[in-house]
Chain A
Amino acid sequence: MDFVLNFPFFSIMICMLAALSTFMLGRRAAAVVAKLALLITLVLSVILTVYLHGTGESFVYMMGHFPAPWGNEIRAGELEGVMAIFTCVIALLSLIAGKYSIRTEIDDTKQNLYYLITCLMEASLLALIYTNDIFTGYVFIEINTIAGCGLIMIRNTGRSIAAAIRYMVVSLVGSGLFLIGTTLLYSITGHLLMQNINESVAALAADGSYSVTLTIITALMTVGLAIKSGLFPFHLWIPDAYAISVTPSSAMLSGMVSKGYIFLLIKLIYRVIGFDVYSSTGVFDLIFIAGIIAMIMGSVAAIRSGYLRRMTAYSSVSQIGYIFMGIGIANSAGAVAAIFHIITHGLTKSLLFIAASSFTGRKEDIRVSDLKGLGHKYPVSAATFTAAALSIIGFPLFAGFIAKMLLANASFDCGWRMYAAIGAIAVSTILNVVYFFKCIINLYAFGGFEEEKKDTEGSTAEETADESVKATACVDNEDRPTKYENALHGICAAVLAIINLYIGLAPGLLSDIITKGLNVF
């Protein structure tokens, strides 16, 4: 066995070990350890993906001394490798770019816990991506949920705790439904390993026995995962959770956490229940319709919200709708488009949150109308924000355009689905333009920023005599981002924007890997 094949296991364990050691470290050492672990994981995932792209095959890896139906195992192919790279990139860049946010928003004594939660989150996401056993999937869903709560409430204000509680309640309902589905599936198949379940389910479907139960199981598990990833009727936890948490949390939650569940859903469709059985249950129509409604309603809510980060969060709802619509098209091209959009949207949305953090500063959120002129004050953030917004809109040259084109292409020859999908993409794109162009125009407008500057100058000139004000000014100075932090923030945003542009200009490699990976899935 090649040594490279150990890498999925190594990356999970490295993240776990990093999580454990940050528990005992101070905040600076914890930051270094967490970033180092994520970097090592990233390198390992890249090597693994290159290797698997060369061989074009997938493999299973025994976790322990006992082979699959008895012991646990994990499985990796190109697709899993790409997803692992994607989660590592987002986690690493969010942590680095959010250095200032973490320093000022989180209590000093709890900062190492933040890095710990991030590492646990990354480990559980990797396990969700690589798992080949549905119960292992459930266990790591639990870690993911709990870590997600931690990411939201680390800010420790009343509103963030309320958002975390809402997230926890909704998310636990999702886990519960998934668990019920898993137990029922075990009762009728007697297996937990994905491959064995798939074979038994195919046999049961051929017999015609348990057909209603199978439909109920499929619906329960799909709805459970849809709740956890925030599909339309279950999206109400999203705006609070994304808009109130600290910047790296928002970037990670929107970029990779909800996407992990969607990837598990795709695994469920293709590897557990089986595509044919799944499409015979009619759940695809449910997903498709929910996705279409989400695309429209999410955009409408984003237009109405009026606050920058809240708007971005609602935009996430609509983009998750795109992904579910892609799955709901019910062919392999649709699944490829959906996975492509998982990656592009993850990269884009985390970039939006990271760029927005320089406009909001230490405030929780900012009105879109208050953005006036900030583009001249923060040129890098404004440029990357504009790039990300254009990508979400689907402007050519950017990755979002390719994703939307793949989605539209996949829906051809699908009867009523074609009209619905293309119509919804058109309407949703126009709505996206409405709310993102409002931001971009405001960012580059003249006038607002100068007035504000005059105001602050005037007020400080008046009060310089007061000593206490001097003291607070000193503290405020300490709380401004240092040059180093600003540079890191800019570099991370630029890297994300460049990746986005690269995928937009040369989408061949990524879509090729996804198509091939899905074939050996």
Chain B
Amino acid sequence: MADFNPKEKKILYRAFRITAAILIVMLAAALIFCMFDLPGLFSPDHPGENIVAERYIESGIEETGAVNFVAGMILDYRAFDTFGESNVLFAATICVMVLLLVQDQSKSRVRRKRSKKNGTVNSDQTTVSESQTSFEQLPESKAYYEDLRDEREIEPRLIKNDVILKTIAKFAVPFILMFGVYVILNGHLSPGGGFSGGAIVGSGFILASVAFGFDKMERFLNRKSAGIITFVSLLVYCLAKSYSFFTGANHLESGIPLGTPGAILSSGLILILNICVGFVVACTMYSFFSLMRRGKI
């Protein structure tokens, strides 16, 4: 890259800013023009009011068995798109793991070599941090903190949890989790479903981990269990939908009973898929938080 002196740099920045502003104004003008040109949303001749929407509304309930049209649409009519969407979440989790997962130094060859090059070999450090269980036992030497590659390793232990937070969380978390489960399980009957319910459950987990600490959360939601839950849910989703796609495309009967619309056990695969999506979303939310907070799940 060419080097510029400060004066040239200033001029370039200004030119860049002005060009960016002009482009944004042009884009905004084009979009505002489009907005006025588009057909009115509630007019009867809106192009969206066509055979597609008609069939979703008129025969959606008997064809999918779901009273909630939206659930029927996203999990039965257009299930391939939703399958893609849940894989977007999966891909995002993986990328956050790639970025934020803190390595166990004793296991990683690449990392060890790099630190050797820098001249800092800290072999006893992992054993020290493993033995740390509470705030009081932290060593006070400054060198210990400087040795840590990542401040996330130490930070969560430094926080003394607030009594108000703990007390409120003790009451709120069960209700949050229960509400989330309700939204997931009733996804085919009422507004909601796997994505929204999973987000509620995930936020409940996050609140619990903030209030009671990660050590307690790890008893039931650690890297292994979160991994297994995500894997099994996505696998069930993938296999169930593959079966449904395959039978549908080859004009075979799927043999999955739809049940009576409105009952909790109805609408064929939608209930199972909602549960799977709920699990995936809840684990994703919690693992994002945990990875960003302390570098591991």
Contact = CB atoms under 8 A, between A and B. Distances in A.
Contacts of B101: 109-110
Interface stretch (B7-15, B83-91, B178-186): B83-91
Contact of B94 (A108, A116, A124, A140): A116
A135 B92 CA distance: 19
A463 interface: no
A139 B81 contact: yes
A150 B234 contact: no
A149 B88 CA distance: 13
Contact of B81 (A19, A136, A150, A479): A136
B117 to A, nearest CB: 9
Given A66-B248, A69-B51, A109-B103, A140 B108 contact: no
Q: Interface of chain A, helix or strand or loop or mixed?
A: helix
Given A64-B244, A107-B110, A187-B39, A120 B84 contact: no
A143 interface: yes
B50 A108 contact: no
A70 B238 contact: no
A108 B108 contact: yes
Contacts of B251: 1
A156 B80 CA distance: 33
A190 B48 contact: yes
Interface in A71-117: 71-72, 74, 104-110, 113, 116-117
B12 to A, nearest CB: 14
B170 to A, nearest CB: 34
Contacts of B234: 20
B123 to A, nearest CB: 14
Contacts of A184: 34, 38
B52 A70 contact: yes
A61 interface: yes
A412 interface: no
B246 A6 contact: yes
Interface string A1-30: 100001001000100110110011000000
A153 B99 contact: yes
A142 interface: yes
A260 to B, nearest CB: 14
B249 interface: yes
Interface string A130-173: 00010110011011001101100110100001000000000000
B235 A6 contact: no
Given A16-B238, A113-B97, A212-B37, A65 B244 contact: yes
A414 to B, nearest CB: 29
A113 B94 contact: yes
A149 B63 CA distance: 40
Contacts of B5: none
Interface stretch (B71-79, B208-216, B270-278): B71-79
A186 interface: yes
Contacts of A154: 98
Contacts of A113: 94, 97-98
A464 to B, nearest CB: 19
B47 A63 contact: no
A213 interface: yes
A472 B112 CA distance: 12
Contacts of A65: 76, 244, 247-248, 254
B73 to A, nearest CB: 9
B109 interface: yes
Q: Interface of chain B, helix or strand or loop or mixed?
A: helix
A419 interface: no
A20 B238 contact: yes
A108 B248 contact: no
Nearest to B56: A70
A216 interface: yes
A204 to B, nearest CB: 9
Contact of B55 (A24, A70, A213): A70
Contacts of A139: 81, 84-85, 88
B227 A24 contact: yes
B17 interface: no
B247 A104 contact: no
A212 B110 CA distance: 56
Nearest to A215: B30
A180 interface: yes
Interface string A174-189: 0000001000101111
A113 B98 CA distance: 7
Contacts of A180: 31
A216 B88 contact: no
Given A107-B103, A113-B94, A117-B94, A213 B80 contact: no
A72 B80 contact: yes
A180 B78 CA distance: 20
Nearest to B111: A107
B289 to A, nearest CB: 18
A446 interface: no
A329 to B, nearest CB: 26
A63 B38 contact: no
A418 B246 CA distance: 49
Contacts of A191: 47, 50, 52
Contacts of B52: 69-70, 190-191
A1 B250 contact: yes
A316 B26 CA distance: 30
Contacts of A143: 84, 87-88, 91
A62 interface: yes
Contacts of B85: 139
A413 B11 CA distance: 44
Given A108-B109, A143-B87, A150-B98, A135 B81 contact: yes
Interface of B: 30-31, 33-34, 37-39, 46-52, 55-56, 63, 76-81, 84-85, 87-88, 90-92, 94-95, 97-99, 101, 103-104, 107-111, 113, 116, 227-228, 230-231, 234-235, 238, 242, 244-251, 254
Which are the 8 A-B pairs with shortest beta-carbon distances? A190-B47, A139-B84, A72-B80, A65-B248, A63-B80, A150-B95, A146-B91, A64-B248
Given A71-B77, A150-B94, A479-B113, 18 more contacts: A16-B238, A62-B249, A64-B245, A69-B51, A70-B52, A70-B55, A107-B108, A120-B90, A120-B94, A146-B91, A146-B92, A150-B95, A156-B99, A180-B31, A187-B38, A190-B52, A191-B50, A210-B37
